[in-house]
Amino acid sequence: VAWLAYGLGNSVEARVRTYRLASVSSRVDADSIARAAGLHHAVVFINEGVEARNLHYLWALGLERGSAMRMMVSASSCAIRVSIDAEQARRPASARARLDRLVKGALAFDSVQSPTMPRVCVEDLQHDIERSASYAPFFAANTIDGDGHIGGNIVYALDLGAHNEVLRSRFGDRAWYRFGARLAVGDTVPSLAAYGVVQR
């Protein structure tokens, strides 16, 4: 599933290079964090940022990786998010001409100099300010069971905001957390916070 997929690049080499270039606060030991927090039977969501979220939203809408990546560089993150939300709200839903609608919607948004930022974009920005980290070390810490499914004591998933609720059917009996890359006063490792209120 999209929550358990890692990275913008397709090759292992690209993923390793991205991890090595990441900030020190993002280069963490997932197992050490889980032990320090005494986690058991839990799901931990890691936020990689608005661009990663947008990319996974586009994949969820059925866009091929190449098309999604081209769209990511064609408009601002806010414009893409607004266009994604409009497409997701479309009724009846239709995959026909979806890429064209998404691109046109994003470009149209960027062409207008609005004095205010849409609420969803403000929320995205605030979400990234509060907590953002590389998913790479967490992705590698996941356990794959005999059926090829993610399992184990701790499941590490990409934080996709309100879309995370889709995982309730499978992991609803677990404790849910969000990982924060910033150190709180007195902490020796980046902090974990109870999942709490669902964010977009």
54 occurs within a structural domain: no
Residues 141, 95, single domain; the answer is no
107 occurs within a structural domain: yes
Separation of alpha carbons 69 and 51, rounded Å: 10
Helix (H) or strand (E) run with residue 42 in it: strand 42-46
* pTM reported for the whole predicted model: 0.74
58 occurs within a structural domain: no
Residues 97, 150, single domain; the answer is no
SS (H, E, C) the chain: CHHHCCCCCCCHHHHHHHHHHCCHHHCCCHHHHHHHHCCCCEEEEECCCHHHHHHHHHHHCCCCHHHHHHHHCCCCHHHHHHHHHHHHHCCCCCCCCHHHHHHHHHHHHHHCCCCCCCHHHHHHHHHHHHCCCCCHHHHHHCEECCCCCEECCEEEEECCHHHHHHHHHHHCCCEEEEECCCCCCCCCCCCEEECCCCCC
Residues 135, 190, single domain; the answer is yes
How many domains are contained in the chain?
Answer: 2
Residue 16, pLDDT > 80, answer no
Percent of the chain with pLDDT over 70: 79
Q: Is 89 exposed, middle or buried (0-12, 13-18, 19+ CB in 10 A)?
A: exposed
110 occurs within a structural domain: yes
Residue 183, pLDDT > 60, answer no
Residue 82, pLDDT > 90, answer yes
Task: Dump pLDDT digits (tens) for 118-171.
Answer: 999 999 998 888 677 888 889 889 988 888 888 899 999 999 988 899 999 999
126 occurs within a structural domain: no
Residues 112, 139, single domain; the answer is no
Residues 80, 179, single domain; the answer is no
Residue 10, pLDDT > 60, answer no
Give the range of the structural domain holding residue 190, as residue numbers without chain letter: 2-47+131-194
Residue 90, pLDDT > 90, answer yes
43 occurs within a structural domain: yes
92 occurs within a structural domain: yes
Task: Dump pLDDT digits (tens) for 32-77.
Answer: 889 988 999 999 999 889 999 999 999 999 999 999 999 999 999 9
> Final residue of a domain: which of 57, 83, 116?
116
